[in-house]
Amino acid sequence: MRPCSWGLVFARCLPGWRSGAGGATGRLPLLLAGAGLLLACVLLKWQPWGTRLHLPAFALLAVGIAVWAERIGPRVIGACALLCGLGVLPSLEPDIRPVWSPTSIFTTSRWQDYFTTHPQDRAPAEAALGLLAAQKVERLHVVNKHGFPYALMRGFLDVGEGSRRLVVTRHGRVETVPQAVVVVNRLGDGAPLYRRFPGSAERFRAVGATDPFRVFLPEARARALAERLPPPAFAGWERSDALERDVVAQSAGGPVTVRRMSGPELRLEFRREALRMTLRLVAANPTARACELEIQLDGARVARVRLDPGVGWQAVAVPLAPAGEQGVLTLFAPAEVRPVFRALQIFDD
């Protein structure tokens, strides 16, 4: 039952409560609130962030508890309050923000607390903030669909003594063209190289290695910084099939972010950004068998790439000439081989 329905029930029952609080009419609101809370717990899967749905029932039950407290006397009320206070103590030591453990909220900074549940986001968030600071960005637009960008937004606003401006949307519509854009789409499979905004004659191009906080700068500035801030390792397509999400793997030079083919056929749908484009991939063959990777553009074969086992990362560049505004790039691998990509880019020359 929705909160407004609960309020309607109480509004009708309260007169009876006042006239006969000890009778059946007086108990009816409590019974309804308790039954509704029980029904919600039965029907809804328990999740930590779903406990807020219990608040309407708790607020309604508080009315009955207040009436009950008036009858039992101050001593019993004090004892109950003490028990409730003791019951709160275990909740003061959660895994996320403990109160008295060695890593309590009093010994860690607020910035550290932001990443307690997602520690892997700290390094890319700091990298994105450093990039924005180096480019002197004062107007930032954040497009958030599936992610947790609060720490990045807070870190951006905390610098600049109030001069910075932040706009957050889900679909990318803005009235004022920003100086930079951060797109957070952790669960999405698209990785476009460009973003376009109404009112701006210039495209925004992805730069740097800051995923999942992908930074876009105006194209002219992004190209001027291309040697120092190349496009992300995985970029250039709007939709993918059979490509796993980012995972961290160990390499000779340390941990690296990689993506794997989850099936024998990898499909990338991309937008033609220029008459001549390039597919660049850095791949490795983790099996003991040689892998012939066939690459097709719109159903026509454009290249075959041999990935030998045990030779590490192999870099390959394949020129592309898509005929239409939209292109489909397909990579075929033997059924028993799943290549691993350290970079997979479709970009304009």
Structure-token pair, residue 13: 């029952």
- Which of the four pLDDT bands, split at 50, 70 and 90, describes residue 14? very low
pLDDT digits (tens, 9 = 90+) for 112-150: 888 888 888 899 999 999 999 999 999 999 988 777 899
Q: Specify the CATH superfamily of domain 238-349.
A: Galactose-binding domain-like (2.60.120.260)
Contact 288, 279 (CB under 8 A): no
What pLDDT, on the 0 to 100 scale, is given for residue 6? Answer: 42
Structure-token pair, residue 321: 């000439």
Highest-pLDDT range among 148-162, 171-185, 325-339: 325-339
Q: How far apart are CA 245 and CA 114, in angstroms?
A: 23
What pLDDT, on the 0 to 100 scale, is given for residue 140? Answer: 92
Strands of 208-339, DSSP E: 213-218, 234-235, 239-241, 247-251, 254-260, 265-271, 277-284, 291-297, 300-307, 314-320, 326-332
- Which of the four pLDDT bands, split at 50, 70 and 90, describes residue 34? confident
User: Residue 270 pLDDT > 70, yes or no?
Assistant: yes
Give me the phi and psi of 125, to 5 degrees please: -65, -45
- Which of the four pLDDT bands, split at 50, 70 and 90, describes residue 280? very high
User: Residue 68 pLDDT > 80, yes or no?
Assistant: no
Q: How many helices (H) and strands (E) does the chain have?
A: 8, 17
The pTM assigned to this predicted structure is 0.76
User: Residue 99 pLDDT > 60, yes or no?
Assistant: yes
What pLDDT, on the 0 to 100 scale, is given for residue 39? Answer: 86
> What mean pLDDT is reported for the chain?
83
Q: What percent of the chain has pLDDT over 90?
A: 39
Task: Locate the domains of the chain by residue range.
Answer: 3-92, 109-232, 238-349
CA nearest neighbour of 181 among 222, 231, 139: 139
CA geometry: angle 137, 138, 142, nearest 5 deg: 80
Report the amino acid identity of residue 249.
A
Contact partners, residue 332, CB within 8 Å, separation at least 6: 264, 265, 266, 293, 294, 295, 296
- Which H or E run contains 124? helix 122-134
Tell me which of 22-36, 47-61, 135-149, 275-289 is least confident: 22-36
